Structure 1
Amino acid sequence: MTDRILQLEEQIAHLTRTVEELSDIVARQEKELDVLKRRSSMLMEREAQREMEVGGSIPLADQRPPHW
């Protein structure tokens, strides 16, 4: 019985460590996602401003490639 309790305590310790590691990873990824979202938003705003400065031309992303 004592051996079984020790095994269970060991498993709980390993699982607790794994959960803590995964929590740290998720927190880091959340920060990275926030940075990437801000950068993406800034790039979208910059591109929109550039398209407005060019005037009434078709946005580059909507133009057909020259080989068509």
Structure 2
Amino acid sequence: MDKHERAVQLEEAVAHLSRVVDDLSEVVARQEREIARLSRRVGLLMEREAEREAEGGTIPLADQRPPHW
């Protein structure tokens, strides 16, 4: 293998790796947006549940016994 063929192989490898890095960067950015969105929703749900518990004073549904017990 001469220097020219080796240089072509290295350029192809670099191009491939650059594409993979770009693709992974897009995935990470999308995941970051999704995590931020889900975190906001969880925060809102927690606030809503805290307000409901403060107002009602009832046993949370998750802690109630099923009707067949």
Q: TM-score, normalised by structure 2?
A: 0.87
Gaps in structure 2 of 5+ consecutive residues: none
The answer to whether the aligner puts 1:39 opposite 2:17 as a matched pair is no
Equivalent residues, number = 67
With CA pairs under 8 Å and 6+ residues apart, which has the higher RCO, 1 or 2? 1
Residue 15 of structure 1 is aligned with which of 6, 14, 17? 17
1:65 aligns with 2:66: yes
Q: Secondary structure at the match of 2:65?
A: coil
Q: Percent identity?
A: 63
Q: How many Å separate the matches in 1 of 2:30 and 2:68?
A: 44
Structure 1 stretches of 4+ moved >3 Å: none
Q: Give TM-score, length-normalised by structure 1.
A: 0.88
